[in-house]
Amino acid sequence: MKNAIPIMLLLSGFALWACGGGGASSGNDKDTPTALTPEEQMIAEGKGIGEVKYVELKTPLEENRVSRGKAIYDMKCAACHKLDDTRVVGPGWKGLTTLRRPEWIMNMITNVDIMLERDPEAQKLLELCLTRMPNQNVSIGDARDILEFMRYNDGER
């Protein structure tokens, strides 16, 4: 029995050390940086949340996209968004392409419900405008056309 106590203490000490209790960092410290999820990484990069991960912008503007984007704007966007900086229901579009990344703009157009739930910048817009942007069921291709029209509206050629 005398030998059992030191053996039990030794085993307990080994178990504590093996589980990280010997004063070494266990990896659960609040100061230990953790890897970002893909969604958190996109938010951190200012791209928002959604399918659009990368947008290649071309110069000069693609005129066919500009005209299609204007037609979509007239049909689905103009009632709430003006082309200057006037806020109606939603914010005005003037300067938007210099303020936001193209991926964020397209994700906001195509994935509005998730963006308003989880993207901090979209949530700030909701607080400002007090009205949720409706899901217009805009395709990725149509969102790209709208983005090209926004670029044109901001003076890019």
The pLDDT tens digits of the residues spanning 69-109 come to 999 999 999 999 999 999 999 999 999 999 999 999 999 99
In this structure, which amino acid lies at residue 95?
G
Q: Is 53 helix (H, G, I), strand (E, B) or coil?
A: coil
96 is in which domain, residue-wise? 37-153
Q: Residue 21 — very low, low, confident or very high, per pLDDT cuts 50/70/90? A: very low
pLDDT at 34: 84
Q: How far apart are CA 107 and CA 132, in angstroms?
A: 15
129 CB-side CA count, 13 A: 20
Residue 7 within any structural domain of the chain: no
Residue 134 within any structural domain of the chain: yes
Q: How far apart are CA 148 and CA 143, in angstroms?
A: 9
pLDDT at 28: 52
- The residue count of the chain comes to 157
pLDDT at 11: 52
Residue 21 within any structural domain of the chain: no
Q: Residue 22 — very low, low, confident or very high, per pLDDT cuts 50/70/90? A: very low
Residue 87 backbone dihedrals phi, psi, to 5 degrees:
-95, 125
Q: How far apart are CA 129 and CA 127, in angstroms?
A: 6
Residue 70 within any structural domain of the chain: yes
Residue 26 within any structural domain of the chain: no
CA angle 27, 118, 86 (to 5 degrees): 140
Residue 2 within any structural domain of the chain: no
Count structural domains, the chain: 1
**Any idea what the CATH number is for the domain that residue 116 is in?**
1.10.760.10
Residue 104 within any structural domain of the chain: yes
pLDDT tops 90 at residue 30: no
Q: What is the pTM of this model?
A: 0.78
In this structure, which amino acid lies at residue 37?
T
pLDDT tens by residue, 36-73: 999 999 999 999 999 999 999 999 999 999 999 999 99
Identify the weakest region by mean pLDDT among 29-33, 88-92, 131-135, 142-146. Answer: 29-33
Please give the structure tokens belonging to residue 136. 């217009």
